[in-house]
Amino acid sequence: MTLTYALELIGTFVFAISGALAAEEHELDAFGITFIAFITALGGGTTRDVLLGIHPLVWIADTNYLLTIFVAVAVAIAFKQYILPLRKTFFLFDTIGIGFFTILGLKKALLVAQVSPLIGVIMGMVSATFGGVLRDVFCNQVPLIFRKEIYATACLVGAGIYLFLEKISPYTRLNTLLTIFIIIIIRFVAVKYKLSLTWKR
Among positive and negative, which fits the CA dihedral 35, 1, 118, 166? Answer: positive
Q: Report the distance separating Cα 177 and Cα 43, nearest Å.
A: 23
The pTM score is 0.90
Q: Are 90 and 96 in contact (CB under 8 A)?
A: no
pLDDT above 70 as % of the chain: 96
Query: Rounded to the nearest 10 degrees, how much is the dihedral formed by the CA atoms of 83, 181, 135, 20?
Result: -30
Mean pLDDT of 114-129: 97
Using only C-alpha atoms, the chain has a radius of gyration, in whole angstroms, of 16
Among positive and negative, which fits the CA dihedral 123, 53, 114, 175? Answer: positive
For residue 93, report the phi and psi dihedrals to the nearest 5 degrees: -65, -40
* pLDDT the model gives residue 86: 65
pLDDT at 84 over 80: no
Task: Give the rounded distance of the alpha carbon of 49 from its chain centre.
Answer: 15
Q: Report the distance separating Cα 137 and Cα 145, nearest Å.
A: 11
pLDDT per residue as tens digits for the range 130-187: 999 999 999 999 888 887 778 999 999 999 999 999 999 999 999 999 999 999 999 9
pLDDT above 90 as % of the chain: 73
* pLDDT the model gives residue 97: 93
**Nearest Cα residue to 44 out of 167, 130, 173:** 130
Which amino acid, residue 27? E
* pLDDT the model gives residue 62: 96
- H or E stretch covering 135: helix 117-138
* pLDDT the model gives residue 201: 54
